[in-house]
Structure 1
Amino acid sequence: MPEHVARIVPLAILTMLRRGEILGLRDRDLDLDAGAVSVFSQCQEGERVATKTRSSRRIVDVGPVAVRLIGEQQDARVDSPEGFLFPSRTGGPFDADNFMARIFTPAARAAGIPELTFHDLRHTGASLMIAAGCHVKVIAEQMGHSDGGGLVLKRYGHLCKGARRQAAEALETHLFGAAGASSVG
């Protein structure tokens, strides 16, 4: 990918933002000291519009790697009077279809994964959060889902193999310390 947008893939995975949400991010949406990204609008057809649902309007917490990548992106981007994090070459908002056709799809082909979609990055982030043991409700909130985690479980539940055993062992460790360290009586 060109340098001025090269960080969009890792940031899309780390934030689980939708394509229009990440393309619509502006400096005023970022609180790097707090490690937070405010998502209240998105780009559609090159215009900034409100997110489609109330639950899509959210604060996404990010870790130190994402904060560093955001700072690097701010330094690498082309001048953007409106402060877009990922501006087009003219400094305005990207049209999502244009971004896909001119930048993302050719980069995916060059990487040997021509079937990759931008939404796959969101799925990757959610899958990795599940693998890291994150609570499903938290994942749903980060993604902007309003169902408390039902969709996350439905879509990614197959990734939770061994989760019941892990939960049982975590309960015992919490109650008794080291595994098998306590007797009942």
Structure 2
Amino acid sequence: MSESPKSSSFIAKGSVATKDVRKKYLNKSETVKLIQEIKTGIKPQWQSRYIILVGLATGLRFSEILALAWSDVDFKNKTIKVTKAYDYTHTKKIQKTKTESSKRIISIDNDTLVLLKQYKLATQINQSKYVFLDKNLESLSNNAVNKSLKKACQRAGITEITFHSLRHTHCSLLIYQGVNIKYISKRLGHSTISITYQIYGHVLDELEQRESSKVDDMMQLLYNA
């Protein structure tokens, strides 16, 4: 089912990320190119591509995506329920989410849902209740999906990123679209808005500068009306 071999690395619990994510996300045009590349010729056996698209569309952590059951995907109401995570390094078992606030229900776009429906129909023979885990709770490794993502970035001619950068990309694009930061924080499963500010402060600062110029433009229009 993989385009790459297996390997893994997972931290079930962790502190707030302290590394600067400034260079670790795609802009809108790069994201469009990546989606087009991933979708081109997509096949159910290329599971990594579906995992990448879900990560980009939801901002879910890799462990959260692997733990998704089909019962968590509400095709009618276009939502995904996050209630658990998958320890893909040590126990190879379903466990609690990273934090209590990580339990959430988020919306998912129609295009990604259509692809998931096609994937579900093609993989029902596996008879697994999970989207990306088989009956033995085996999955693609984080390393395998990262290799697939790296190759897709190369083919698309864009900045090479890791899977976790899809989460940063998702959040950054929402911020630039003017989505409420409180909503974004809950969508990402952060326990407080301050965590979101801590990680994505530079994006918010850039947006604030852009909004400031809008005020200047508005006042100029008023003075010259």
Tell me the TM-score normalised to structure 1 length. Answer: 0.76
CA contact (8 A) 2:150 2:162 kept: no
Give CA deviations for 1:31-87 in whole Å, capped at 9, x if unaligned. Answer: 111111111011113211121321011111112223223223313436343321123
Equivalent position of 1:86 in the other structure: 132
From 140, 153, 164, the equivalent of 2:197 is 153
Paired residues for 1:117-128 under 5 Å: 117-128=162-173
From 133, 155, 158, the equivalent of 2:178 is 133
SS of 2:117's equivalent? helix
Question: 1:167 & 1:153 partners in 2: Cα distance?
Answer: 19
* Cα shift at 1:169: 5.6
SS of 1:151's equivalent? helix
The answer for unaligned runs of 5 or more in structure 2 is 4-42
CA contact (8 A) 1:108 1:114 kept: no
Question: 1:22 & 1:167 partners in 2: Cα distance?
Answer: 38
Equivalent position of 2:189 in the other structure: 144
Paired residues for 1:1-185 under 5 Å: 2=3, 3-4=43-44, 5=47, 6-45=49-88, 46-77=92-123, 79-88=125-134, 91-95=135-139, 99-101=141-143, 103-111=144-152, 112=154, 116-147=161-192, 149-160=193-204, 161-163=206-208, 166=211, 180=222
SS of 1:133's equivalent? coil
Higher relative contact order, structure no. (Cα contacts within 8 Å, ≥ 6 residues apart): 2
Q: 1:163 to 1:65 in 2, by over 3 A?
A: farther
Which consecutive segments of 4 or more residues in structure 1 shift more than 4 A? 167-170
Question: 1:67 & 1:55 partners in 2: Cα distance?
Answer: 24
CA contact (8 A) 2:146 2:163 kept: no
Question: 1:79 & 1:42 partners in 2: Cα distance?
Answer: 24
Q: 1:158 to 1:52 in 2, by over 3 A?
A: closer
Give CA deviations for 1:160-179 in whole Å, capped at 9, x if unaligned. Answer: 32436638969xx9xxxxx7
Question: 1:58 & 1:92 partners in 2: Cα distance?
Answer: 26
Question: 2:210 & 2:142 partners in 1: Cα distance?
Answer: 42
Question: 2:172 & 2:187 partners in 1: Cα distance?
Answer: 13
Question: 1:166 & 1:68 partners in 2: Cα distance?
Answer: 36
* Cα shift at 1:20: 0.8
The answer for unaligned runs of 5 or more in structure 1 is 174-178
Question: 1:59 & 1:48 partners in 2: Cα distance?
Answer: 18
CA contact (8 A) 2:59 2:167 kept: yes
SS of 1:79's equivalent? helix
What amino acid is the match of 2:141? F
What amino acid is the match of 1:106? K
Q: 1:135 to 1:168 in 2, by over 3 A?
A: farther
What amino acid is the match of 2:190? H
Percent pairwise identity? 26
